Structure formats: structure tokens, C-alpha cells
């Protein structure tokens, strides 16, 4: 089912003690819980499930493609994405291969969000220097694009060994690589990169006041137009956000407060009330979430994807599944209707594989049919060796 705008959930994959019980789930529990959450998201009619990438405790999601492939096997409509894929410390060759493979297994229900992550020490763990964060993001992404767009790549750069006559396999499904979002909270360079390639820009929209989000999105839109991809209001924008709901808003605030106060990312700081006023965090009734979310359009314009963080800070799985029921029954249907009624005809729908294949003129088999031997991979050399003997 195609939707003009996509709604879904994302997870940062934290393993956090529940402050109300003192109990900490195991990694095994959280990994299984994330699969349950993804399946529930499809069941209640959401469009997208996105999973972060981290390589350190208290997070478990070091291999998002493994998890997303497992989810793909148990779902049929859900769009699978990341939040984020570390473009700086992953080898672009491995990203090209891993996500093309996932794309085939999931019948095209895959896109990904490039980002630099929020953990500084990850750079030396993967042999890089954090001071090269932006240059790494730029060079690695340029190579990734070529690996997906060109059958045979000769390449030389600053941060990895050169490539000679390299073909990334499998080739993208139907000849169309996964759609890419560039996720950033604070870096105009990443918004510029998204605009330069005509890719999507995703603003996490959790920690900062709306004026900051507005500036970042407006900058991306103006640069998207500058680079010739369409009018500013045709740029592809996604927003994050965090919600916690109960039918009665006082109940929501009372239940969520201990989780907020102890959350790894914003606990022990401003009060829940201050944070809710200054940022898009919405704790209250489904109606309040609807009104607040519809208000995002006032400062970012018509946009294509809205993802909510709902499983953070030690919330038990039962509670998260109740949040998904409220999203699916009371929030998203209203948002779909209202956003669709407001969206002008020239503003594009959320990108899907089917739509992008159609825009390319139909599916193409992009397989590279090459004979090769099992030592060098070069068929010509192998045949010459045989004929000399």
C-alpha cells in the first residue's frame, strides 16, 4: 500500500534499567523485543521501522542489516530503515554490499539513513580519527554512490585503500539502489551533502527547539533547489520525535516522569515540563500528540516521513506495545488524513522502491554476469594460464 506520507517508529537500541522496578533487561530480551515492536508496527498500520547502529554498551544494535533481514522475513509491507548507518566508520564497500543484499531479501522494502552517530570513541575502534568526521562522511558517501551506480569502479581516496576494477555484489535490486536519507541534528555540512545528491534529509527533532530544526531544514531545502533537484518545497524531509501517551494526559505525565528523569540521553537535566515546552517531546493524550505533530508542518513545510521514538529509557515492552496501539488507532490515521489534505499536488510522496523503479522506466536486471576463477576472480587471466600450459 502506497502512502503519501510515511509514519513509523525508530529505536536507538538502548539497554536501560527500568527506573520504576530497578530491573535491567538483557541484550537477548531487548533484541527480541525490537523484533516484536517492528512486527507490531506493521500490524497496527504503520509504514516504517528504523533501527540505530551502535558499537558500545548500553546499546545492542551493532549489525542492523542482520536484524532488519530477520524482520523482513516476518513482515510483508513494512519499510525497513536505519537510524543511523555510520558512514564515517563503516567501509563504504561493506555498506554497498550489505544494504543491496538486504534490499533483495526484503523485496525492495529498504532505505537507510547515513549519519556520523553520537559516540566519539567509535572512530578509533574502526581505525579512524574523529577530527576527520566530516571529510570521512563526504568521501565515503561519494564512493558508496559510485559502487551502487557503476558496475566497475576504479577509485582512489584519502581514507581507504584504492579500488581497481571492483564490482560490488549483489547489484542493487531492479537496478535502483536503496533511497538514502542523511541524518543530522547539528551539521549543516550533512544537510548540504543530502541536497547535493538530491537525497532525503532527516532531522532527529528530539533535543533541540523548533527554531533550530527550522533553520536546518530551510538550509537543506534552499540547497536542494540550488543543486537543481526541484523547488525547495519538493525536497525530501523526514523528522524524528518522541511521544508517550495515555488516554488521560495527567496519567501520561505521571507514568513517564521517572523514565524521563533517568533517561541516558536527557535525564538529570531540565524538567519534563521544560523539555516538553522547549523541544518536540510530547507526553500527553493522543489528541495532544496529533496537534503537536501537525504543528511541525508550520515550521518545516510539507514533509515525507515522521518517525517516533517510543521504546527508549527502559520502558517495558508491554508499555511500548500499548503506545503502538494508540499510534495505530488514534494518532496516525488522523495525521495521514490531515497532512494529505494540506499537501499541494507538486510536493512528492515519500519515496518507495516501486515508485523509484517506475521513475527509472521499469525494473532492470543489474546482475553482472562475469565468468571468474576462484583464485583471482579474473576469467581472462585464468584462461590464458590454461592455454600456456
- Domains belonging to the chain, first-starting first, are 6-388 (3.20.20.30)
pLDDT in tens, 130-172: 888 889 999 999 999 999 999 999 999 999 999 999 999 999 9
Pairing of strands 153-155, 163-166: antiparallel
pTM of the model: 0.93
pLDDT in tens, 172-207: 999 999 999 999 877 888 999 999 999 999 998 888
What would you report as the CA-atom Rg of the chain, rounded to the nearest whole angstrom? 22
pLDDT in tens, 58-98: 999 999 999 999 999 999 999 999 998 888 889 999 999 99
Instruction: Please check the confidence at residue 316 and state whether its pLDDT lies above 80.
Output: yes
Confidence at residue 386, expressed as pLDDT on a 0 to 100 scale? 40
State the helix-helix crossing angle for 210-226 and 286-300, rounded to 10 degrees: 40
Instruction: Please check the confidence at residue 48 and state whether its pLDDT lies above 90.
Output: yes
User: Which residues, at least 6 apart from 49, have a Cβ–Cβ distance to it below 8 Å?
Assistant: 8, 9, 10, 37, 38, 41, 42, 71, 78, 79, 80, 81
291, 331 in Cβ contact below 8 A?
no
261, 19 in Cβ contact below 8 A?
yes
**What distance in Å separates the CA atoms of residue 100 and residue 121, rounded to the nearest whole number?**
28
DSSP string, 105-156: HTTT-BEEEEE--S-TTHHHHTT--GGGHHHHHHHHHHHHHHHHH-SSEEE-
Confidence at residue 186, expressed as pLDDT on a 0 to 100 scale? 79
Higher pLDDT, 133 or 100: 100
Report the percentage of the chain scoring pLDDT > 90: 80
In the structure, what pLDDT confidence band is assigned to residue 266 with cuts at 50, 70 and 90? confident
Instruction: Please check the confidence at residue 384 and state whether its pLDDT lies above 50.
Output: no
Average pLDDT on 307-330 reads 97
In the structure, what pLDDT confidence band is assigned to residue 388 with cuts at 50, 70 and 90? very low
Instruction: Please check the confidence at residue 41 and state whether its pLDDT lies above 60.
Output: yes
Q: The C-alpha cell of 329 is what? A: 488507532
In the structure, what pLDDT confidence band is assigned to residue 373 with cuts at 50, 70 and 90? low
By mean pLDDT, which of 22-31, 114-123, 157-166 is the weakest?
A: 114-123
Average pLDDT on 260-267 reads 85
**pLDDT, mean over the chain:** 92
Report the percentage of the chain scoring pLDDT > 70: 94
Amino acid at each position: 500500500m502506497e502512502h503519501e506520507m510515511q509514519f513509523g517508529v525508530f529505536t536507538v537500541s538502548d539497554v536501560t534499567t527500568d527506573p520504576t522496578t530497578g530491573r535491567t533487561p538483557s541484550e537477548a530480551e531487548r533484541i527480541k523485543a525490537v523484533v516484536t515492536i517492528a512486527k507490531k508496527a506493521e500490524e497496527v498500520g504503520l509504514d516504517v521501522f528504523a533501527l540505530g547502529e551502535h558499537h558500545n554498551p548500553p546499546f545492542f544494535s551493532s549489525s542492523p542489516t542482520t536484524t532488519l533481514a530477520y524482520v523482513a522475513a516476518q513482515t510483508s509491507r513494512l519499510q525497513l530503515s536505519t537510524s543511523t548507518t555510520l558512514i564515517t566508520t563503516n567501509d563504504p564497500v561493506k555498506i554497498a554490499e550489505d544494504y543491496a543484499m538486504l534490499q533483495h531479501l526484503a523485496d525492495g522494502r529498504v532505505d537507510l539513513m547515513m549519519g556520523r552517530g553520537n559516540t566519539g570513541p567509535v572512530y578509533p575502534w574502526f581505525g579512524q580519527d574523529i577530527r576527520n568526521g566530516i571529510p570521512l562522511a563526504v568521501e565515503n558517501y561519494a564512493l558508496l554512490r559510485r559502487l551502487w551506480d557503476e558496475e566497475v569502479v576504479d577509485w582512489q581516496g584519502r581514507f581507504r585503500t584504492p579500488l581497481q576494477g571492483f564490482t560490488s555484489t549483489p547489484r542493487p535490486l531492479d537496478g535502483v539502489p536503496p533511497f538514502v536519507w542523511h541524518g543530522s541534528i547539528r551539521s549543516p555540512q550533512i544537510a548540504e551533502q543530502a541536497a547535493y545528491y538530491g537525497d532525503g534529509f532527516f532531522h532527529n527533532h528530539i533535543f533541540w527547539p523548533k527554531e533550530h530544526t527550522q533553520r536546518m531544514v530551510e538550509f537543506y531545502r534552499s540547497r536542494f533547489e540550488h543543486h537543481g533537484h526541484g523547488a525547495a518545497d519538493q525536497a525530501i524531509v523526514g523528522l524524528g520525535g518522541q511521544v508517550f501517551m495515555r488516554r488521560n494526559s495527567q496519567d501520561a505525565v505521571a507514568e513517564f516522569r521517572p523514565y524521563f528523569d533517568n533517561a541516558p540521553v536527557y535525564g538529570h537535566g531540565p524538567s519534563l515540563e521544560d523539555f516538553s515546552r522547549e523541544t518536540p517531546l510530547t507526553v500527553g493524550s493522543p489528541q495532544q500528540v496529533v496537534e503537536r505533530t501537525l504543528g511541525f508542518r508550520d515550521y518545516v513545510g510539507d514533509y515525507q516521513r515522521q518517525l517516533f521514538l517510543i521504546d527508549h529509557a527502559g520502558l517495558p515492552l508491554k508499555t511500548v506495545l500499548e503506545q503502538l496501539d494508540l499510534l495505530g488507532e488514534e494518532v496516525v490515521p488522523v495525521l495521514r488524513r490531515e497532512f494529505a489534505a494540506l499537501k499541494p499536488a507538486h510536493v512528492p510522496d515519500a519515496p518507495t522502491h516501486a515508485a523509484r523503479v517506475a521513475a527509472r522506466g521499469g525494473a532492470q536486471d543489474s546482475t553482472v554476469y562475469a565468468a571468474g576463477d576462484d583464485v583471482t576472480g579474473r576469467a581472462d587471466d585464468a584462461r590464458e594460464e590454461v592455454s600456456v600450459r
